[in-house]
Amino acid sequence: MAAVDTCGRYCLRRNHLSRRVITAAVAVTSVAFAAGVAVPNRAEAGSSGTVRIESVFPAAGELTLHSVSVRKTPNPQGRVIKVMHDFRPDYRPQEILAVRKALGSDGETWYRISVPMRPNGTYGWIPARTVSLSPTHDEIVVNLSTRTIDLYKFGKRKWHGKVAIGAPGRETPLGHYYVAARFVPYHDSFLGVFAVETSAYSKLTEWPGGGVVGIHGTSLPQLLGQAVSHGCVRVSNQTAAKMESLAPLGTPIWIKK
């Protein structure tokens, strides 16, 4: 997979994989409910015959099956939006971002998830038995008007920094997304000391990977505060280093005006 950098470079390239791949998560933006419980589920075969149903959102995790059809409604016969697999084309685990749960037409629990695809802001439903989730505790907020980024943990702001955003005609997309991959750039100082791939897509559909938006460090800190990228969010290397501990996989991302 290839996430395209703000200046046309790849944020992710198979031959430039990170020194460390940090797995975990799936997330979304929503409010919290009660605690997760284990409930019977006929479709989940196992020694206990149960599957844990999460009730605190946003929640992040990985698929427990090889593939799952994401449907428009919580209905086994609902229209398929996308088929997601446990591993992405770049061999990284597929992260899932869940915002809430509901009882499906089949009487089973389903999760509403953020679907990484065009158009941005696509949501769909998957059976709860197909994914293992845990509540998320971090959040990234990017403000395009002030050109700033804030990193939160348990609702408390832990870091504030300046960013560079997409240039006119290549604007960084607004909306709710999540951290889909994390990596340390390999022999590419342009991307700084650390980077995350988001579930957002830029306007540049011709780029490999379809124009996936990244948040990454930079070798050009003098451009921070400006609208100069191809859609990615550039941060200082100091901010990028903070993301390594404050932006695990599945971290919800809110890009706002």
Question: What CATH number did the domain enclosing 105 receive?
Answer: 2.30.30.40
What number is the average pLDDT over the span 220-237?
97
pLDDT at 51: 79
Asked if 196 contacts 250 with a C-beta cutoff of 8 angstroms, the reply is no
Task: Please check the confidence at residue 218 and state whether its pLDDT lies above 60.
Answer: yes
Task: Please check the confidence at residue 173 and state whether its pLDDT lies above 70.
Answer: yes
Q: Of 88, 115, 135, which marks where a domain is finished?
A: 135
For the record, the structure tokens of 36 come out as: 């997760």
Q: Would you call 209 helix, strand, or coil by DSSP?
A: helix
Residues 69 and 142 placed together within one structural domain of the fold = no
Distance between alpha carbon 203 and the CA centroid of its chain, in Å?
A: 18
Range of the domain at 213: 14-22+137-256
Residue 88 located in a structural domain? yes
For the record, the structure tokens of 197 come out as: 């791939």
Residues 18 and 145 placed together within one structural domain of the fold = yes
pLDDT at 188: 81
Residues 189 and 127 placed together within one structural domain of the fold = no
Residues 155 and 225 placed together within one structural domain of the fold = yes
Residues 127 and 152 placed together within one structural domain of the fold = no
- Amino acid (1-letter code) at residue 86: D
28-56 pLDDT, tens digit per residue, is 333 333 334 343 343 333 334 577 999 99
pLDDT at 209: 67
Instruction: Let me know how long the chain is.
Output: 257
Asked if 180 contacts 93 with a C-beta cutoff of 8 angstroms, the reply is no
pLDDT at 187: 78
CA 233 – CA 162 distance, rounded (Å): 10
CA 39 – CA 45 distance, rounded (Å): 13
CA distances for 227 relative to 9, 60, 86, 115, 163, angstroms = 17, 31, 36, 27, 9
Residues 141 and 235 placed together within one structural domain of the fold = yes
Q: Of 116, 135, 154, which marks where a domain is finished?
A: 135
Residues 173 and 240 placed together within one structural domain of the fold = yes
Residue 186 located in a structural domain? yes
pLDDT more than 70, % of the chain: 79
Residues 141 and 246 placed together within one structural domain of the fold = yes
CA 109 – CA 87 distance, rounded (Å): 24
Residue 49 located in a structural domain? yes
For the record, the structure tokens of 61 come out as: 């995790």
Residues 123 and 214 placed together within one structural domain of the fold = no
Q: Alpha-carbon dihedral of residues 43, 44, 48, 50, nearest 10 degrees?
A: -80
For the record, the structure tokens of 130 come out as: 């197909």
Q: What is the DSSP letter of 160?
A: E
**Which run of H or E residues covers position 243?**
helix 237-246
Question: What CATH number did the domain enclosing 225 receive?
Answer: 2.40.440.10
CA 105 – CA 189 distance, rounded (Å): 51
Asked if 60 contacts 199 with a C-beta cutoff of 8 angstroms, the reply is no
Per the structure, the count of domains in the chain is 2
Residues 114 and 185 placed together within one structural domain of the fold = no
Residues 154 and 169 placed together within one structural domain of the fold = yes
Residues 153 and 252 placed together within one structural domain of the fold = yes
95-141 pLDDT, tens digit per residue, is 999 999 999 999 999 999 999 999 999 999 999 999 999 999 999 99
